[in-house]
Chains A and B, each alone.
Chain A
Amino acid sequence: MNQPKYELKASKNLLTFTFISEGKRGLIHKMIKFQTIELNGVYNLALGDLNHITGEMNDLVTSNNGHSEKVLFTVASAVTCFTEEYPNAFIYITGSTESRTRFFRIGISKYFIQICKDYDVLGEIENGWESFEPNKSYRGFLVKRISINLNLF
């Protein structure tokens, strides 16, 4: 997706990404982190504002910097980069608040036709998982890069 996105910096292992969001509230340092959970192979995606002084990430703050779609594409770019390095990883995405989860759901829904070419996406419901359906409410999302295979004959 050739959409405007922020320039990403990443750690050597591509587990931590940062970028600077430029908007109506000035420059905000953002961080995207892929953290392993206790289930092997599953990574939790965290997105928040980075406090450069304390080194802490605040994933509850609402930046309201006016560029939410650009932020979303930047996150998508980090996911692409991460899954190039870790193609077998499962990425769990949920918001720290309901509105954050809705933010991810709207973004996935809007670009689902493009996303589903490269990723399997499941939606978290109360008692399990189901294939993602655009514009349906979910508690979270689980994403897996599709392996590229060529079927002959």
Chain B
Amino acid sequence: MQTIKKPKVKKQFSVIIDRSLDQYDTQILSPEKLEKANQTFRRIGFPKQFLKH
């Protein structure tokens, strides 16, 4: 069996790039939610179902 990777074809989206939003990329705007996510992964770990990826 031979597996080949299909060439990546980027889809076109109706998204407008707005450089004024770049400032938010590095800001943590919802720290409580982020901490909740961190706690979840500390508690139950990363799913083994995804370890194959």
Contact = CB atoms under 8 A, between A and B. Distances in A.
Interface residues of B, number: 40
A12 B19 contact: yes
Contacts of B18: 9-11, 18
B2 to A, nearest CB: 5
A56 B29 contact: yes
Interface in A19-65: 31, 33, 35, 37-39, 42, 44, 46, 48, 55-57, 59
Contacts, number: 142
A150 B40 CA distance: 35
B36 A94 contact: yes
Q: Most chain-A CB neighbours within 10 Å: which of B19, B29, B36, B50?
A: B29
Interface in B1-27: 1-6, 8, 10-11, 13-19, 21-25, 27
B29 A77 contact: no
Interface of A: 7-18, 31, 33, 35, 37-39, 42, 44, 46, 48, 55-57, 59, 77, 80-81, 84, 87-88, 90, 92, 94, 96, 120, 122, 124, 127-129, 131, 139-140, 142, 144, 147-153
9 contacts: A17-B15, A18-B18, A33-B29, A55-B27, A57-B30, A84-B10, A120-B50, A139-B40, A152-B4
